[in-house]
């Protein structure tokens, strides 16, 4: 819910300003220690990289910094209506600590977060706290005017007013009234300024956005090329398979019609052949439909579709599914055909005896792993099926990681960011 800015009555401005003060106070209480802790841990961890300790600790610390920054993005959107883009580069789930450390340090978003932390603990803290100060500080001034000044016989400073007697206490009370007037106008705009300051520091630069556009353009072109290739495959399969069988069956039926009276035995043989052709054509059409979009995928979801896929494999396969809901249809389709391609590679090239397939969803990411006990040696390269899988996943910002040492085993991990419904 965004902060209300209209002041249609006394109750409205009081509620709006009071809500901004409470939110700003709570935000300041969390933001200051959070920013200090994140900055100190980050600097110490990065400083320890040369002696090896930082290789292990830095990914954990920077992941915490990202979680802290993402939480502030959510707060800015819900409390201030200020949306802040997040553009962290994905990392393979099975990357080693070295790869994760330098992968994260090579991401400009990491350094943007680190630059934001000192600003957040100073200017960000003050702009978050100011709405609460405008509410609470006038109370002190009014209390001094009401007689609290007598508790300070040596004098007391209220802002820039030295309170030494009742007259100066009234001056403090007048200043408190002015601050109360400001409290009517400023808390919501000040808190919004805090969120805009956060946005100015956390928003990706134009260069990063341009890089993002370039990647999306490439993945879109890959998707177009893949769709065109798929259409050509369907046309070829229809022309060379089902269509040819249906034509042959029509010719057989025509011959049967001519032989029905002259040579019933031959007609009977051709009739059996025509029936076999119809069964083969129907099977090919079913395979073709399954290759376009399996009915079980549309009706029962990704988990059951992968289980059905595993049942058709010539190898024993163990499938584990932990999906509390369903992803969007395009995501399910991409994941299904990616799994299908990986399984086909394992059956054809891995010389495996057994397969394990795991599907689960966590932290907004659909994660699929396919493991075989084959000979290993799988790589992602031009012309390989895994390169096609990588392009297919890239259309949805997904990533592919392969661990396949010589001698096996091979583990292919696929991740697609998505929500389940």
| Least confident segment among 129-138, 359-368, 400-409 | 400-409
Q: The tokens 């353009």 sit on which residue?
A: 217
How would residue 266 be classed by pLDDT, with cut points 50, 70 and 90?
Answer: confident
**pLDDT higher than 50, residue 148:** yes
Q: How far apart are CA 317 and CA 370, in angstroms?
A: 10
Q: How far apart are CA 116 and CA 49, in angstroms?
A: 22
| Least confident segment among 31-40, 230-239, 342-351 | 230-239
Residue 1: the pLDDT is 42
| Least confident segment among 281-295, 365-379, 407-421 | 281-295
| Least confident segment among 215-224, 241-250, 260-269 | 215-224
Structure tokens at 56: 């292990």
| Burial class of 144 by CB neighbour count within 10 A (0 to 12, 13 to 18, 19+) | buried
> Chain-centre distance of CA 334, in angstroms?
16
Cβ–Cβ < 8 Å for 100, 417: no
CATH 3.30.565.10 residue ranges for the chain = 299-415
Question: Averaged over 260-274, what is the pLDDT?
Answer: 84
**pLDDT higher than 70, residue 92:** no
Alpha-carbon distances, residue 278 vs 235, 236, 242, 244, 248 (angstroms): 19, 19, 9, 11, 10
* Percent of the chain whose pLDDT exceeds 70: 93
Question: Averaged over 204-210, what is the pLDDT?
Answer: 73
More confident residue, 183 or 190: 190
**Mind listing the pLDDT tens digit for each residue in 70-83?**
899 888 888 888 88
How would residue 41 be classed by pLDDT, with cut points 50, 70 and 90?
Answer: very high
Residue 181: the pLDDT is 81
- Beta strands (DSSP E) in 94-155 are none
Residue 250: the pLDDT is 85
3-class secondary structure, 351: coil
Q: How far apart are CA 397 and CA 89, in angstroms?
A: 10
CATH 1.20.5 residue ranges for the chain = 206-289
**pLDDT higher than 60, residue 7:** no
Does domain 299-415 fall under CATH 3.30.565.10? My reply is yes
| Least confident segment among 1-10, 44-53, 113-122, 185-194 | 1-10
State which of 84-88, 134-138, 182-186, 366-370 shows the largest mean pLDDT.
366-370
More confident residue, 357 or 204: 357
Residue 4: the pLDDT is 44
Cβ–Cβ < 8 Å for 380, 414: no
H helix runs in 186-328, sequence order: 187-202, 206-237, 243-262, 264-292, 295-300, 302-311
Q: How far apart are CA 302 and CA 102, in angstroms?
A: 34
Residue 94: the pLDDT is 62
Residue 6: the pLDDT is 45
Question: Which CATH number does the domain 206-289 belong to among 3.30.110, 3.40.630, 1.20.5, 3.40.1130?
Answer: 1.20.5
Dihedral over Cα of 243, 246, 248, 251: its sign:
negative
* Percent of the chain whose pLDDT exceeds 90: 15
More confident residue, 129 or 228: 129
Name which of 67, 90, 73 is nearest 397 in CA terms.
90
Q: How far apart are CA 131 and CA 145, in angstroms?
A: 22
More confident residue, 116 or 88: 116
Q: How far apart are CA 151 and CA 156, in angstroms?
A: 9
Q: The tokens 């089902």 sit on which residue?
A: 242
Average pLDDT, the chain: 83
**Mind listing the pLDDT tens digit for each residue in 364-413?**
889 999 999 888 888 776 566 787 788 778 778 788 888 888 887 888 88
- Contact partners, residue 107, CB within 8 Å, separation at least 6: 88, 89
3-state class percentages of the chain: helix first, strand second, coil last, to nearest 5: 70, 10, 20
Angle subtended at Cα 304 by Cα 373 and Cα 279, rounded to the nearest 5 degrees: 95
32-40 own/partner pairs: CB under 8 Å, 24+ apart: 32/121, 32/125, 34/68, 35/68, 35/117, 35/118, 35/120, 35/121, 35/124, 35/125, 36/121, 38/64, 38/65, 38/68, 38/117, 39/114, 39/117, 39/118, 39/121
């Amino acid at each position: 819910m965004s902060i209300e800015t209209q002041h249609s009555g006394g109750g409205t401005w009081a509620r709006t300003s009071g809500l901004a003060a409470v939110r700003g106070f709570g935000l300041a209480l969390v933001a200051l220690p959070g920013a200090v802790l994140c900055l100190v841990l980050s600097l110490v961890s990065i400083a320890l990289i040369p002696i090896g300790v930082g290789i292990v600790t830095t990914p954990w610390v920077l992941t915490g910094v990202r979680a802290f920054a993402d939480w502030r993005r959510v707060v800015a959107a819900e409390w201030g209506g200020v949306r802040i883009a997040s553009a962290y580069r994905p990392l393979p789930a099975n990357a080693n600590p070295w790869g994760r450390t330098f992968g994260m340090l090579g991401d400009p978003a990491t350094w943007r977060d680190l630059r934001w932390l000192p600003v957040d603990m100073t200017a960000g803290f003050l702009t978050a706290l100011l709405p609460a100060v405008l509410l609470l500080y006038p109370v002190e001034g009014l209390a001094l005017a009401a007689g609290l000044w007598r508790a300070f016989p040596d004098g007391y400073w209220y802002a820039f007013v030295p309170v030494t007697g009742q007259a100066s206490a009234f001056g403090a009370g007048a200043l408190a009234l002015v601050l109360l007037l400001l409290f009517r106008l400023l808390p919501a705009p000040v808190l919004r300024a805090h969120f805009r300051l956060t946005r100015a520091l956390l928003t990706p630069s134009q260069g990063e956005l341009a890089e993002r556009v370039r990647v999306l353009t490439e993945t879109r072109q890959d998707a177009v090329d893949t769709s065109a290739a798929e259409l050509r495959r369907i046309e070829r399969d229809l022309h060379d398979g089902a269509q040819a069988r249906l034509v042959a069956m029509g010719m057989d039926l025509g011959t049967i019609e001519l032989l029905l009276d002259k040579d019933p035995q031959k007609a009977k043989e051709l009739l059996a052949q025509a029936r076999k052709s119809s069964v083969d054509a129907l099977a090919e059409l079913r395979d073709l439909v399954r290759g376009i979009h399996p009915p079980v995928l549309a009706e029962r979801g990704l988990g059951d579709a992968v289980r059905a896929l595993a049942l058709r494999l010539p190898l024993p396969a163990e499938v584990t599914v932990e999906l509390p809901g369903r992803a969007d249809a395009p995501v399910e389709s991409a994941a299904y055909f990616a799994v299908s391609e990986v399984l086909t590679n394992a059956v054809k090239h891995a010389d495996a005896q057994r397969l394990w397939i795991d599907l689960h969803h966590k932290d907004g990411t659909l994660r699929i792993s396919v493991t075989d006990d084959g000979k290993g040696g799988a790589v992602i390269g031009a012309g390989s099926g895994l390169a096609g899988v990588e392009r297919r996943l890239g259309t949805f910002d997904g990533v592919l990681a392969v661990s396949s040492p010589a001698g096996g085993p091979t583990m292919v991990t696929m991740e697609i960011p998505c929500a389940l419904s």
